[in-house]
Amino acid sequence: MTVDASSSSAYPRRDTSAATMLAAGFEQTTASRKISLRQLGKKLGYKQAVALSHMAKGRIPISIERATQLSEALGFDQGTFLMAILEQRYPMVS
């Protein structure tokens, strides 16, 4: 059985503003600092950078506990990013 990586069941949070913000933030930050996502993940204390990739693609939810750390590293407004994460986890919030 083949799973389509773009299917909503494989990436249920793909179209959320939090995932979109995170993906754009990773792209901009890694390009401007000339570092890989793996290097950024290491600086943020992640054991495996694949977790960052999965969050940005909407495969797993973005950690509420890491919202401040991620927003500071990526230059996001903390309140805006946290609200986007809450809307991703609890769609009834929006």
- Checking if the pLDDT of 94 tops 70, the result is no
Using the structure block, give the residue that is written with the tokens 């943020």.
44
Residue 50 is predicted with a pLDDT of 95
CB 85 within 8 A of CB 18: yes
Residues in the chain: 94
The whole-number pLDDT of residue 84 equals 96
Cβ-in-10-Å burial (0-12, 13-18, 19+) of 7 comes to: exposed
List, for residues 10-46, the tens digit of each pLDDT value.
899 999 999 999 999 999 999 999 999 999 999 999 9
What CATH number matches the domain at 17-89, 3.40.50.1100, 1.10.260.40, 3.50.50.60, 2.60.40.420? 1.10.260.40
pLDDT of residue 41: 95
Q: Convert the pLDDT of each residue in 42-72 to its tens digit.
A: 999 999 999 999 999 999 999 999 999 999 9
